[in-house]
Structure 1
Amino acid sequence: MWLCFTSAVGEGEELISPCLPPGFKSEWQHGEIVYKIKGQKAGEPLYESCSNKVAKMLYKKVHKAEEVKDLDFYTFSYYYDRAAEVGLIDKGKGGSLTVGDFEIAAKYVCKTMEISPGNSPFLCMDLTYITFLLQELGFPKSQVFKLARKIDNVETSWALGATFHYIDSLNRLQY
């Protein structure tokens, strides 16, 4: 997601993102490089700025799978954590939601961050990215996802969940 920054990456360089709230400043260290990161200028709508950047970043880089709109999908990990953080699902039990629910949450969180960054300055970016990635993959806004942290009491990742469901659906077709 670091592609949502607009400056060149390098030691001591300032990285500006249209997905971070105005006035946000921080440092992030990766390896031995310390990056200075900051949010966009005040006055620009955060969701619109962020969604434009994310859309450009994903355009023609994600393979759209038309068949996904007809399948049931489980999502895990990153999707689960972000949905739970904004109250779309119960943190302990999981739940179901649509791509459109992620979009509504992204718009709300980004708008709120224009006034007060809160404790999760990357949440606007994360929710906007999730919304656009799912749409680029071919999921309509009405697509329902089941979000879970575990299968049979074993914690999973999103890739495993997609694979698990796909293999399960293939097995059902063979019988």
Structure 2
Amino acid sequence: MNLNGKIILVTGGASFIGSHLTDALVNKGAKVRVVDNLSSGRLANIQSHIESGKVDFVEADLTEPGVAQKVVDGTQIVFHLAADHGGRGYVDLHQAACTTNLALDGMLFRACHELGVEKVVYASSGCVYPNHLQTDPGEILYLQEDMVGPPFDADNMYGWAKLMGEMTLQSFHQDWGL
């Protein structure tokens, strides 16, 4: 895919993975906007791109009203990496905090649909993988999206929120072509 000149939003773009994605997109000639609340990301990860004018940075919380609409407006492609997380210990010990991902994903996907985004790429998690398939190495591996189906058995609330994000985006695609 030719990304030269494409206007791309990276949510969570100051994070470790997000900043490396931002590097790659800038190197491919994309015009990149990053939104991050800096709860786990670091501005230093993308500072050189901001200073060079290759990245437009917005420090904001995507769960706040109107933020998703503002940052999505004018973009063609969205890479959605933003999430309430913090590693295995965090997602195991802060179940309720991880439920904010349900609202975050829903508001972002709706903004993408309403503003005519061409493509959304969603970063999910291994926590969506069914627990009963993780215990036996002989079990079938789900390597294709269409292999996923009931019974769902995500690992912790973070996993359930990510699984709901996948299913929400699939619904937006089926209903509205997002």
Please report the TM-score for the alignment, with normalisation by the length of structure 1: 0.33
Higher relative contact order (CA 8 A, sep 6+): 1
Please report the TM-score for the alignment, with normalisation by the length of structure 2: 0.32
Q: Which protein has the larger Cα radius of gyration, Structure 1 or Structure 2?
A: 1
